[in-house]
Amino acid sequence: MFRADLLSNKRVLITGGGTGLGKAMAQRFLELGATVHICGRREDVLEQTAAELSPQGPIHALPCDVRNLDAVEAMIDSIWSEAPLDILVNNAAGNFIARTEELSPRAFESVIGIVLLGTLHVTMACGRRWLKAKHKGTVLSISATYAPVGSAYVVPSAVSKAGVEALTRSLAVEWGNRGIRMNAIAPGPIPTRGAFSRVLPLPQLEPLALDRNPLHRFGTTEELANLAAFLVSDGSGYINGEVIRMDGGEFLQGAGEFSNLGRILTDEDWESLKPRKKKS
């Protein structure tokens, strides 16, 4: 889909890059010539991913909890001591389904800490360094389709992702004239162990999710990684402040008043609705 040197000479940090979508992006960016850093809390997971992907190109594992500002600053310092990053992907997240009234304060703090504060910590750490050095940079954040409208049962995630989208649009304007682009992807469901074990943890939930989707399938990690590669590449240099939804049309299916008719009405029903020919 892309030239093999699309991301050559680009240095990338992917938060949560040891698993799932982050790992898929790491793989794709390496294939396209980038130098990739991945961070996450679990050192063994990061090391395993780095070992698996290292035949594709230079990849560095950096254990870091993005909730901890000091740890983030130390990680970014250690990256910058080699050379500045060019691309940041805010992908780390925490989420689970629960009835909101039953959530403890720590449950809110945990998810908001990872998704909203973690994204702020890493974005500010990179942004300040880019601005100071007049170095161009691009930030891609992984949101969710429910960010603009909210969603029942994932409220800490919904409020956090809404904040991430507001950050994306705000800084796109504030930092755009100084060479920093800010964009986001809002994916629909894409099977990863981390996500599906927490947001579709019961067998009856998967068919429900498929049924909501006009394409009747889930997205793939490859589709997500290709869109991400495009958005972080210089080829998309005029895209700034956008949230690109990638969900097979699921969001629009839910929004259209009559979109569900196709599931209920039969061919005979449609025939019966056609106007009767007038007798001449």
The option from ligand HXC, ligand NAP, none interacting with 163 (CB < 5 to 8 A, set by class) reads none
Task: Give the count of beta carbons closer than 10 Å to the beta carbon of residue 205.
Answer: 14
- Window 75-94: contact mask with ligand NAP (x via CB under 6 A): ----------------xxxx
- Window 147-176: contact mask with ligand HXC (x via CB under 6 A): ----------x-------------------
- How far from the centroid of its chain's Cα atoms is residue 104's Cα? 26
Q: CB–CB of 118/69 below 8 Å?
A: no
Which of 6, 11, 13, 16 is the binder for ligand NAP (CB under 6 A)? 16
CB of 136 to ligand NAP, least distance (A): 24
The catalytic position among 29, 130, 146, 175 is 146
Which of 98, 124, 159, 205 is the binder for ligand HXC (CB under 6 A)? 98
Position 195 contacts ligand HXC (CB under 6 A)? yes
CB of 178 to ligand NAP, least distance (A): 26
Position 189 contacts ligand HXC (CB under 6 A)? yes
The owner of tokens 């790992």 is: 23
Measured between alpha carbons, how far apart are the two ends of the chain, in Å? 59
- How far from the centroid of its chain's Cα atoms is residue 89's Cα? 8
Position 194 contacts ligand HXC (CB under 6 A)? yes
The nearer residue to ligand NAP, 16 or 137, going by C-beta atoms, is 16
Position 251 contacts ligand HXC (CB under 6 A)? no
The nearer residue to ligand NAP, 118 or 163, going by C-beta atoms, is 118
The nearer residue to ligand HXC, 194 or 241, going by C-beta atoms, is 194
Position 106 contacts ligand HXC (CB under 6 A)? yes
Q: CB–CB of 209/189 below 8 Å?
A: yes
- How far from the centroid of its chain's Cα atoms is residue 222's Cα? 13
Question: Is 146 an active-site residue?
Answer: yes
The option from ligand NAP, ligand HXC, none interacting with 111 (CB < 5 to 8 A, set by class) reads ligand HXC
Q: Strand locations in the chain, DSSP E?
A: 11-15, 35-40, 59-63, 87-90, 137-142, 180-187, 243-246
- How far from the centroid of its chain's Cα atoms is residue 149's Cα? 17
How far is 263 from 268, CA to CA, in rounded Å? Answer: 13
Number of helical (H) and strand (E) elements in the chain, helices listed first = 12, 7
How far is 246 from 251, CA to CA, in rounded Å? Answer: 9
Number of chain residues interacting with ligand HXC (CB under 6 A): 19
Mention every residue, 6+ apart, whose C-beta is less than 8 A from residue 186: 143, 144, 145, 147, 165, 243, 244, 245, 246, 247
- What token pair was written down for 67? 């909730």
Which of 198, 210, 241, 246 is the binder for ligand HXC (CB under 6 A)? 198
Catalytic positions, please? Answer: 146
Binding residues for ligand HXC, rule: CB under 6 A, are: 93-96, 98, 103-104, 106-107, 110-111, 144, 157, 188-189, 194-195, 198-199
